[in-house]
Amino acid sequence: MRVFCFRLIAYLLVWLLPNLVLAATQEPVRLFLQESLDQQGKQLPTDPKLIEILKYFEKQTGLKFEPVILPWKRAQVETLAGKGVIYGFSRSRERIAAYHFSEPVVVERIWGITYGKPKPKYRTVEDLRGKVVSTGRGFSHGLEFDLARDVIFTVQEDSASTHARFKKLMAKRSDVMVWPVRGMETQKEVEKYINRIIVQESNDPELAGRYFDVSDQPLFFDTMHFASAKGRYLEVIAKIDAAILRGKKNGSLAQVLRGYH
């Protein structure tokens, strides 16, 4: 019996030790994330919920991420150069040709935010015809948005400072600002979130007492992904895909995404 135990231990070490050594020496994967700036142009602290989600994927995949926060267009360039993987990436026609996307992590509803009375009735893409639509620099909000931009409406790309975007809307330099929200399904929820959390807690005196309206329904739907350059980090994306599919099946992904706005 003792001889059998020794042999079993030796057998397990032969198979497990190389994998343990590999895990210990595994190079971290650079993970490019979108910068988020305050009204002074300084980087805001990383959302604790995002940190929780990234730790979830590290645990589920065995990968180690090295988060790198960059302006969104710069993050895309670095990813395309094969220097890492990007997270929070939306698909578009051009991107699908150049990037390798993971399975969708989360679905985003893209709402329209306006300022002033009367509140515009934006319900469909056609309602945006001829309008100036404000979005973050380097952002796509899905394939339908991509097909409509500069055809049905004009896109005005703004800086990562959300407060500056609200002020441009107040100054009528744009007609509507598109805003992606995860985990909220109704206009009332989103409007309360925008005005109480984003606007009033900004402590920006120019936004104090202002109230912004949200479209009655989402204008677009989008999906968020991990992505790499075509032909690069294929094993990393495959591990992430397996974690996403497993997490959707057992409910753990939905649980960790709860409260992720």
Task: Provide the CATH number for the domain around residue 162.
Answer: 3.40.190.10
Total number of domains constituting the chain:
2
Q: Are 140 and 89 in contact (CB under 8 A)?
A: no
The confidence band for 138, taking pLDDT boundaries of 50, 70 and 90, is confident
pTM higher than 0.85 for the full model? Answer: no
User: Are 74 and 157 members of one domain?
Assistant: no
Q: Where are the alpha helices (DSSP H) in the chain?
A: 2-25, 48-61, 72-80, 93-98, 143-148, 162-170, 187-192, 234-250, 252-257
Q: Are residues 196 and 245 in the same domain?
A: no
Q: Residue 183's pLDDT band (boundaries 50, 70, 90)?
A: confident
Mean pLDDT across 150-156: 94
Long-range Cβ pairs for the range 8-11 (8 Å, 24+) = none
Q: Are residues 24 and 149 in the same domain?
A: no
Q: What CA–CA distance (Å, rounded) separates 217 from 237?
A: 33
Look at strands 29-34 and 65-70 and give their pairing. Answer: parallel
Residues 6+ apart with CB under 8 A from 175: 114, 120, 128, 131, 132, 133
Are 96 and 127 in the same domain?
Answer: no
- Same domain as 208, residue 130: yes
Do residues 178 and 212 share a domain?
A: yes
- Whether the CB-CB separation of 95 and 121 falls below 8 Å is answered with no
Domain check: are 230 and 215 in the same one? Answer: no
Q: Which pLDDT does position 202 carry in this prediction? A: 75
Residue carrying structure tokens 């198979």: 15
Looking at residues 43-69, what average pLDDT do you find? 94
Residue 72 and residue 166 in one domain: no
On whether both 234 and 205 belong to a single domain, the answer is: no
User: 207 is in which domain, residue-wise?
Assistant: 108-221
Are 126 and 178 members of one domain? yes
At 21, the pLDDT band (50, 70, 90 cuts) reads: very low
Nearest to 88 by CA among 144, 136, 157: 136
18, pLDDT greater than 60 = no
Token readout for 132 is 């100036």
Distances in Å between the Cα of 251 and the Cα atoms of 97, 111, 216, 237, 245 are 32, 27, 30, 20, 10
Section 217-233 average pLDDT: 96
User: Are 78 and 232 within 8 A, CB to CB?
Assistant: no
Which tokens belong to 154?
A: 């004009």
20 and 81: one domain?
yes
101 with 227, same domain? yes
User: What whole-number distance in Å separates Cα of residue 105 and Cα of residue 253?
Assistant: 8
Dig out the tokens for 248 from the structure. 């959707």
- Calpha distance 191→169 (Å, rounded): 16
What is the SS3 assignment for 75? helix
